[in-house]
Chains A and B, each alone.
Chain A
Amino acid sequence: MIVVYDGSFEGFLSLVYEVYYKKIKPTSILRETPKRLVLEELHESFYDEGNSLKVFTALKEKFSKQNFETILNTFMCDSIEFEMPLLEYIILGFKNQSELQNINNGSVFSVLGFTKQLFSNVHKMTGFLRFVELEDGSLYAKLESRFNLVYFLGRHFSKRFNNQTYYIHDINRSLVFVHSPEFKGVREISAFELPTVSENEKKFEKLWKTFFESVAIESRKNDKLQKNVVPLIYRTYMNEFMN
């Protein structure tokens, strides 16, 4: 049976409820109704606040803190089709928590792999994210990424930019992590105007580019290696790679 849900975390929990109490047996889980003709039976799972909450409470009770976080983290990997392995992970966990350590199980291995990918992405972006200084001295960074990273990045920078006001703007998901004296956390935004940068900005961008070009050693030049370690996809907002 193909199951369609709305793609939200709460929607997924309602789906889990249906698996237990309406005995639906998904063979694949989609976020949108397929446009093509499907021969298999199609079931649409609707978000139900009560059911969702019941599953949420059960998860918090039954699952260890770490395993529960693994489930939440998996949801941040929104460009991966994680639903089937995650469903099996949850079913397995309700039966027996210690089985969730068994990496021989394909679903467990996949789900743990998602978390690993997520954090490797977070780690890369902690280095590759670039801030510009705005007129008022606050810092602003644009972010485009495969996964939903703003929360993790926001937390990372709250240590090092503790006395700064900064914004990390996820362009595609329309999310901003705000760190200011008034508010710290993730916000959704609808409209957005490009802020004015400080007059210092040009100088330091140019200095950085000068530095970047002059530290490379000509006799060791290796473009392929450079592409491996900074894939093009990360370079969009890294000014040393802009012309």
Chain B
Amino acid sequence: MKKDVYTKMQILSDSAKYDVSCSSSGSESNYKTGELGATHNSGICHTFTADGRCVSLLKVLLTNFCLYDCAYCINRVSNDIPRAAFSPRELADITINFYKRNYIEGLFLSSGIIESENHTTELMLRTLRILRHEHKFNGYIHVKLIPGADSELIKEVTKLASRVSSNIELPSNKSLALLAPNKTKEKVLQPLKVARDITLERDNKPISMSTQLIVGASPESDFEILRLSSALYDKALLKRVYYSAYIPVNDAKNLPAIITAPPLLREHRLYQADWLLRFYGFSYDELLTQDRDHLDEELDPKTFWALSNMHLFPIEINKASKEELIRIPGIGVRSAFKIIKARRFKRLKLEDLIGLKISIKRAQYFILCDGVFQKSVPLYPESIREVLIKPVKMQTPKQPTLFDVSAITGEL
């Protein structure tokens, strides 16, 4: 039976939703007079789903038919689920119409493997060509490369896309062999290597690349995950690594039971740590070590790092460099810039920080303001940890007044 376009949309977006990446940021504005579409450097969220995730791109699979049988994946061949496919023209048409109504920034194109890796890539390429050449569309297009496709095809796709990615999914070869028998780390990384080599050839315009790791489906520690991310940023020229808390969709003997709740807090801490790697000048081995290989659940990674390095604190905010300032827990890049801007005019005290709307909730225990250190909590890691985990709640005693009705009626 032929499925109508709404059913197809329902099936193919449902199948793609476990891919976390949906960002459209980090590309230069590129509009052309007389054409359609432009990208926006900071990325734009067009709506947010019921789970609170930003929707920036039309994220769909071209098809959810798949030859592979990866244990964690909803679309694996051994699952009995409804299958559908868009034609390249149909998908391009929907993309353009969504774009003109300002529903989306562009397209996130991924696909199950239909017939062969090369055939699938060719279908994706056809969609890209219709968008870029026929519709003169300059908006954002993210393509999930198909591992195992010919390098020539991957090159073509890379030329037309704004960003490409290939999901590593599992942080080690051992887990891949166990859960994704059709993939190896080499195979998964192959398309990214092809894309990286193009970048190195044309050294002026780097191609933006990303990947995704599933957290909690296999036994790797946070230390191993961050070490991998860090290597990917340094060597593979990736722009982003996404972490996806494992959501059980299949029952398989090698996976955590299907009732397990997704480890959302762990995912959140990994993102915080990832941020520290990319924007705060931290290295992975500052945050974790072989012995302490999991991130603290109660404290954010930066505060945890600070408490293990108390010899560096307190930091005088009137003297510290930008690099030092952003290592203070609770001080982000924006706050650091405010401090640097404001201290050119006066020596800053704690009240000044409050006036500048800088959050001192955590920072106050790690800073000197014009030589003054806060007096309530001593500079010991244990004491600071305690107040940060259990913030003291100020209770204002209620005093009944003459006009307070409850004093008369006895109501609470």
The residues of A with any CB-CB pair to B shorter than 8 Å are: 101-104, 106, 109, 123, 126-133, 139, 141, 157, 159-164, 200, 203-204, 206-208, 210-212, 214-223, 225-226, 228-230, 238, 240
Contact = CB atoms under 8 A, between A and B. Distances in A.
Contacts of A133: 97, 100-101
Interface stretch (B52-60, B169-177, B272-280): B52-60
B305 interface: no
Contacts of B56: 127
Nearest to B37: A160
A119 B139 CA distance: 22
B385 interface: no
Give chain B's interface residue range (CB within 8 Å of chain A).
Answer: 35 or more
B264 interface: yes
Contact of B338 (A103, A106, A216, A228): A103
Contacts of A204: 94, 97-98, 101
Interface stretch (B27-35, B118-126, B153-161): B27-35
Contact of B10 (A101, A104, A210): A210
Contacts of B36: 160-164
Nearest to A205: B101
B403 interface: no
Q: Report which residue of B40, B46, B261, B341 has the largest number of chain A beta carbons within 10 angstroms of its beta carbon.
A: B46
Interface of B: 5-6, 9-10, 13-14, 16-18, 29, 31-38, 40, 42, 44-56, 58-60, 94, 97-103, 136, 139, 247, 261-262, 264, 338, 341-342, 344-346, 352, 355-356
A131 B97 contact: no
Interface of B is mostly: loop
15 contacts: A102-B342, A104-B346, A109-B356, A126-B44, A204-B94, A204-B97, A208-B103, A211-B13, A211-B58, A216-B53, A217-B49, A219-B262, A220-B262, A225-B52, A229-B48
B47 to A, nearest CB: 6
Nearest to A160: B38
B100 A215 contact: no
Given A103-B341, A163-B35, 19 more contacts: A103-B356, A123-B42, A127-B44, A127-B45, A130-B101, A160-B37, A164-B100, A204-B97, A208-B98, A210-B6, A212-B47, A214-B10, A216-B53, A217-B18, A217-B247, A219-B261, A222-B50, A226-B49, A230-B48
Nearest to B19: A215
Given A104-B346, A164-B100, A206-B6, A127 B46 contact: yes
Contacts of B59: 215
B6 A207 contact: yes
A216 B29 CA distance: 29
B35 A162 contact: yes
Contacts of B58: 211
A216 B50 contact: yes
A128 B47 contact: yes
